[in-house]
Chains A and B, each alone.
Chain A
């Protein structure tokens, strides 16, 4: 349980960027928060959900980001302050509603937090939030440090109420997940009263119908309000300048790049020559203020992550003002000093600055750097990204992969977003052959399943997780069933939104706040839609494989739900279902001829090769006792016995190992 809400005003606390945003929302008197889990944004709703009771909040993990935005907006329409939270790809999902929401306007203060992941540390994309501000014509705020993350969140609610529209707050992985000192502010004693007023004049923004028509009139209202925001930005304390009055080089930056710029300037000791213009209100630009600073230097470097969004806006402004401020030389992404992909960091800024300014910088002596490089990986085990020991996905992909091989029609799996995305790698036997957005696996498979008239005779399989199923698999599944596509959807149901930290979803009996929730049963839903449905325990690999082989032979849409909780789930933690043993008198070791099938191919981290004995060995510390490897060993040397201790026992499976059929 977070104690964020117990901190007294003036207290200093080490906060993650995400916690700072939470404290800001609490200080602003937020009443409703909704989101969908996604790194690096998840901790915001997570923390708020734990404070729902003491802070009188309604917090939910919505089924997807569009619904989260809709749920949060309803609170705003009812006069409450509300927060919608998502990672950037979720903003794409929510964007259809966002377009209409920004057109209709809001009432109670409403903030949309979108977290970018430059460098794709926990994503399969480097999606950008910033262009959405311009596209949707809503203000964009970007905190540059932890204190600002809190302050800016508080102010974002005020701004939203001033302009009666949603405000976009963009954070990035390094802000959300790093920690810094934050000084606490006051928590308000607000009465949260919800009332949706809809009986006024139809186009009254506070009491009429909430809608985007009449479009042209509403649109012009929206743009007027945006100009109001822009005027406020001109004097915003979130925009700062640090450096000489007339710098040789003006750095313009925003977000955590501010910290990288400060570090680079300090490292190169060029504080006398370089000024840093830091923007907290990135769109629309506070044009007068930026122009004033542009006038002070002929040379400008724009530092930002991934695409040159800010650079483009600054250049437009400079071009428009050339008569006033003179021509500028721009450095940045377009010119090539900085890359347009990956995370920004101090090294990259240092490299750009030293070239532009002609300053040599030696971070490490060459000999030291070489030696460091030589020894940095010595002794470190070579580790590939893999599934945890006891992960149901390893067992599932084992069955899927071997079934598709045996099916022998060059079949393939359309992947989706979750831990199981790793099945593009050897961890999942390189089973996934497409990987895109959430729900796209089933959508893509729905299309593949209609290509037989063009000669395609390959078996088509899609996978999705249980949370993803609800998030965005339902529409493509309906599509596939309606169009009589030929595909097998495998729902890897590990009983939670596992990858992001076991957030609840509609298939579970509890909501984000720990209250009882209605369970929506995935097999029943699929059956009702008209799919042929089977349910299996992926730990029973041979049975699962046989079941799948049967389904692959059938036409139409088949759904196989592989149900087994994540190895890290609270219900399983610290418990073993089986006590695994290797009978060394049966294990033929190097003479088996299987060429270490267990450790080389199946490769669960809990199963290791004892080099001295030349035999397989269970690493008891790592093994979670899932029992799957007992089915993998070709000679049945791996045995599973009932775990004696606190382990929960699973209902199925025999005491003794048996041969693979």
Chain B
């Protein structure tokens, strides 16, 4: 993992349009700031190495090193990464109806238990102000419930992890998309003298096929509706093919095709759909919006899941094999497409100069071979 400085980060990521505003470089120093979905370097820090560059999920990411950190296994071509169990879940009796969950309410329920049981003392989550997602450090279940539901937009959530660490929290939970989880994974590789888990006690990944540039989506939405009236967003299952805004005056749909124009370039080289470098990953369940898909990756993650079932925070059921296969297929497609694009764009395993991704060539071959690309 080659670490360079802030200026290099700007030229290797921002200027190439690869930044997805994950927040990995934000809040560590006075130089990097995120504003309305964009990260900016305010002044040249003059340093040759920085955590900003080390954390960035779009430059010099050694997928194997991160995977060995968490979940603790070598990186392979496995479409959804390493996992112990894959089930469908939803809020248990203790959690039902306590917030407008996006789907089954699994993430909120897991976090609620984590707070109630003292596993965590803070959580770095994503809230929303108007249409713009905002990182937030919450310290109780009420805070968790206030952040429920998907944001669909790039958000500098990792900066909330930095904020929580700086504030002195010792057992921090993080919930985020695959890029954010990769950033946190790299952070855990980097923290000097890092204990087994360091201050990060729990990471929950969110499935993601792509995110949207906050400014582009805002400008699209503002042409169609009053931004203040937006209460939520959803991508309804096919064949709808729309991006749906929930507003106080009903739904407003924008064709998915148009919305896709707001996908940041950085998303197109992301090989991770299920947030592989986490304790647990959660996403929608194909064909049933009342449930979630849940992937347990680590022993700690699995233990939390088991406790959640036992204590009534979660309800679980086996996943339909067709649904499981669909999830793996979608993950494999994203992985292969991203690897191919990264290679095409000169962003994979470069011998000279910066590379976005570093992956064992044999693994790359298997990923690309597996889908015939």
A634–B162 Cα gap in the complex (Å)?
13
A401–B43 Cα gap in the complex (Å)?
9
> Which of these binds chain A: B33-41, B181-189, B246-254, B353-361?
B33-41
Q: Is the CB of B29 within 8 A of A408?
A: no
A188 beta carbon closer than 8 Å to chain B: no
Contacts A405-B42, A595-B47 known; 6 new A-B pairs at CB < 8 A: A402-B33, A402-B42, A553-B36, A593-B28, A593-B47, A632-B30
Task: Kindly provide the distance from the CB of B32 to the nearest chain A CB, expressed in whole angstroms.
Answer: 10
A407–B42 Cα gap in the complex (Å)?
10
A553–B31 Cα gap in the complex (Å)?
22
Q: Is the CB of A634 within 8 A of B29?
A: yes
B45 beta carbon closer than 8 Å to chain A: yes
A601–B45 Cα gap in the complex (Å)?
9
Task: Kindly provide the distance from the CB of A486 to the nearest chain B CB, expressed in whole angstroms.
Answer: 14
Q: Is the CB of B29 within 8 A of A429?
A: no
A542–B166 Cα gap in the complex (Å)?
19
Q: Is the CB of A594 within 8 A of B43?
A: no
Kindly identify which residue among B28, B33, B36 contacts A405, using a CB–CB cutoff of 8 Å: B33
User: B38: which A residues are within 8 A, CB to CB?
Assistant: 406, 408
User: A289: which B residues are within 8 A, CB to CB?
Assistant: none
Q: Mark A623-659, 1 if CB is under 8 A from B, else 0.
A: 0000000001010000000000000000000000001
Q: Of all chain A residues, which has the CB nearest B46? A: A595
A408–B41 Cα gap in the complex (Å)?
9
Task: Kindly provide the distance from the CB of A274 to the nearest chain B CB, expressed in whole angstroms.
Answer: 56
Q: Is the CB of A595 within 8 A of B45?
A: yes
13 contacts between A and B (CB under 8 A): A402-B42, A405-B41, A406-B33, A406-B40, A408-B38, A408-B40, A549-B35, A593-B51, A594-B31, A595-B45, A597-B43, A600-B46, A632-B30
Task: Kindly provide the distance from the CB of B245 to the nearest chain A CB, expressed in whole angstroms.
Answer: 20
In this complex, the interface size class of chain B, counting residues with CB under 8 Å from chain A, is 20 to 34
Q: Is the CB of A406 within 8 A of B30?
A: no
A324 beta carbon closer than 8 Å to chain B: no
Q: Is the CB of B30 within 8 A of A594?
A: yes
Q: Is the CB of B29 within 8 A of A593?
A: yes
User: A405: which B residues are within 8 A, CB to CB?
Assistant: 33, 40-42
Q: Is the CB of A634 within 8 A of B41?
A: no
User: A594: which B residues are within 8 A, CB to CB?
Assistant: 29-31, 45
Q: Is the CB of A406 within 8 A of B29?
A: no
A520–B2 Cα gap in the complex (Å)?
60
A540–B292 Cα gap in the complex (Å)?
46
User: B30: which A residues are within 8 A, CB to CB?
Assistant: 594, 597, 601, 632, 634, 660
A591–B33 Cα gap in the complex (Å)?
21
Q: Is the CB of A408 within 8 A of B35?
A: yes
Q: Is the CB of A406 within 8 A of B47?
A: no
A221–B241 Cα gap in the complex (Å)?
84
A498–B47 Cα gap in the complex (Å)?
38
Which residues of A394-453 are within 8 A (CB) of B? 401-402, 405-408, 429
Which residues of A567-610 are within 8 A (CB) of B? 593-595, 597, 600-601
A593–B52 Cα gap in the complex (Å)?
11
Please tell me the number of chain A residues within 8 Å of chain B, measured between CB atoms.
Answer: 19
A95–B34 Cα gap in the complex (Å)?
49
A594–B34 Cα gap in the complex (Å)?
17
Q: Is the CB of A406 within 8 A of B35?
A: yes
Residues of chain A whose beta carbon lies under 8 Å from any beta carbon of chain B: 401-402, 405-408, 429, 549, 553, 593-595, 597, 600-601, 632, 634, 659-660
User: A401: which B residues are within 8 A, CB to CB?
Assistant: 42
A593–B46 Cα gap in the complex (Å)?
10
**Interchain pairs with CB closer than 8 A, number:** 46
User: A659: which B residues are within 8 A, CB to CB?
Assistant: 166
Which residues of B179-228 are within 8 A (CB) of A? none
A405–B29 Cα gap in the complex (Å)?
15
Task: Kindly provide the distance from the CB of A399 to the nearest chain B CB, expressed in whole angstroms.
Answer: 11
Q: Of all chain B residues, which has the CB nearest A403? A: B35
Kindly identify which residue among A407, A593, A595, A634 contacts B35, using a CB–CB cutoff of 8 Å: A407
A618–B293 Cα gap in the complex (Å)?
57
Q: Which 6 A-B pairs have the closest CB atoms?
A: A406-B35, A408-B38, A634-B30, A405-B40, A597-B30, A405-B42
Task: Kindly provide the distance from the CB of B153 to the nearest chain A CB, expressed in whole angstroms.
Answer: 15
A402–B30 Cα gap in the complex (Å)?
11
Which residues of B45-68 are within 8 A (CB) of A? 45-47, 50-51
A406–B39 Cα gap in the complex (Å)?
7
Task: Kindly provide the distance from the CB of B272 to the nearest chain A CB, expressed in whole angstroms.
Answer: 26
Q: Is the CB of B43 within 8 A of A601?
A: yes
Task: Kindly provide the distance from the CB of B72 to the nearest chain A CB, expressed in whole angstroms.
Answer: 29
Task: Kindly provide the distance from the CB of B17 to the nearest chain A CB, expressed in whole angstroms.
Answer: 12
Q: Of all chain B residues, which has the CB nearest A659? A: B166
User: A406: which B residues are within 8 A, CB to CB?
Assistant: 33-35, 38, 40, 42
User: B42: which A residues are within 8 A, CB to CB?
Assistant: 401-402, 405-406
Q: Of all chain B residues, which has the CB nearest A549? A: B35
A549–B51 Cα gap in the complex (Å)?
27
Task: Kindly provide the distance from the CB of A406 to the nearest chain B CB, expressed in whole angstroms.
Answer: 4
User: A593: which B residues are within 8 A, CB to CB?
Assistant: 28-29, 47, 50-51
User: B39: which A residues are within 8 A, CB to CB?
Assistant: 408
User: B34: which A residues are within 8 A, CB to CB?
Assistant: 406
Q: Of all chain B residues, which has the CB nearest A596? A: B46
Q: Of all chain A residues, which has the CB nearest B50? A: A593
Task: Kindly provide the distance from the CB of A658 to the nearest chain B CB, expressed in whole angstroms.
Answer: 13
Q: Of all chain B residues, which has the CB nearest A634? A: B30
Task: Kindly provide the distance from the CB of A204 to the nearest chain B CB, expressed in whole angstroms.
Answer: 67
Q: Of all chain A residues, which has the CB nearest B163? A: A659
A549–B47 Cα gap in the complex (Å)?
28
A632–B30 Cα gap in the complex (Å)?
8
User: A660: which B residues are within 8 A, CB to CB?
Assistant: 30
Task: Kindly provide the distance from the CB of A600 to the nearest chain B CB, expressed in whole angstroms.
Answer: 7
**Most chain B beta-carbon contacts within 10 A, residue among A401, A594, A632:** A594
A597–B30 Cα gap in the complex (Å)?
7
A405–B41 Cα gap in the complex (Å)?
7
Task: Kindly provide the distance from the CB of B221 to the nearest chain A CB, expressed in whole angstroms.
Answer: 14
Which residues of B1-44 are within 8 A (CB) of A? 28-31, 33-36, 38-43
User: B41: which A residues are within 8 A, CB to CB?
Assistant: 405
User: B29: which A residues are within 8 A, CB to CB?
Assistant: 593-594, 597, 634
User: B47: which A residues are within 8 A, CB to CB?
Assistant: 593, 595
Task: Kindly provide the distance from the CB of A470 to the nearest chain B CB, expressed in whole angstroms.
Answer: 33
User: A549: which B residues are within 8 A, CB to CB?
Assistant: 35
User: A634: which B residues are within 8 A, CB to CB?
Assistant: 29-30
Q: Of all chain B residues, which has the CB nearest A598? A: B30
A601–B44 Cα gap in the complex (Å)?
9
A634–B42 Cα gap in the complex (Å)?
13
Task: Kindly provide the distance from the CB of B7 to the nearest chain A CB, expressed in whole angstroms.
Answer: 12
User: A597: which B residues are within 8 A, CB to CB?
Assistant: 29-31, 43
Q: Of all chain B residues, which has the CB nearest A402? A: B42
User: A408: which B residues are within 8 A, CB to CB?
Assistant: 35, 38-40
Q: Is the CB of A429 within 8 A of B35?
A: no
A257–B266 Cα gap in the complex (Å)?
65
Task: Kindly provide the distance from the CB of A208 to the nearest chain B CB, expressed in whole angstroms.
Answer: 63
Task: Kindly provide the distance from the CB of B35 to the nearest chain A CB, expressed in whole angstroms.
Answer: 4
Q: Of all chain B residues, which has the CB nearest A635? A: B166
Task: Kindly provide the distance from the CB of B78 to the nearest chain A CB, expressed in whole angstroms.
Answer: 37
User: B166: which A residues are within 8 A, CB to CB?
Assistant: 659
User: A553: which B residues are within 8 A, CB to CB?
Assistant: 36
A549–B41 Cα gap in the complex (Å)?
16
Task: Kindly provide the distance from the CB of B192 to the nearest chain A CB, expressed in whole angstroms.
Answer: 12
A429–B31 Cα gap in the complex (Å)?
14
User: B46: which A residues are within 8 A, CB to CB?
Assistant: 595, 600
A401–B41 Cα gap in the complex (Å)?
11
Q: Of all chain B residues, which has the CB nearest A429? A: B43
Task: Kindly provide the distance from the CB of B100 to the nearest chain A CB, expressed in whole angstroms.
Answer: 28
User: B45: which A residues are within 8 A, CB to CB?
Assistant: 594-595
A597–B46 Cα gap in the complex (Å)?
10
User: A402: which B residues are within 8 A, CB to CB?
Assistant: 33, 42
Q: Of all chain B residues, which has the CB nearest A553? A: B36
User: A600: which B residues are within 8 A, CB to CB?
Assistant: 46
Task: Kindly provide the distance from the CB of A554 to the nearest chain B CB, expressed in whole angstroms.
Answer: 12
User: B40: which A residues are within 8 A, CB to CB?
Assistant: 405-408
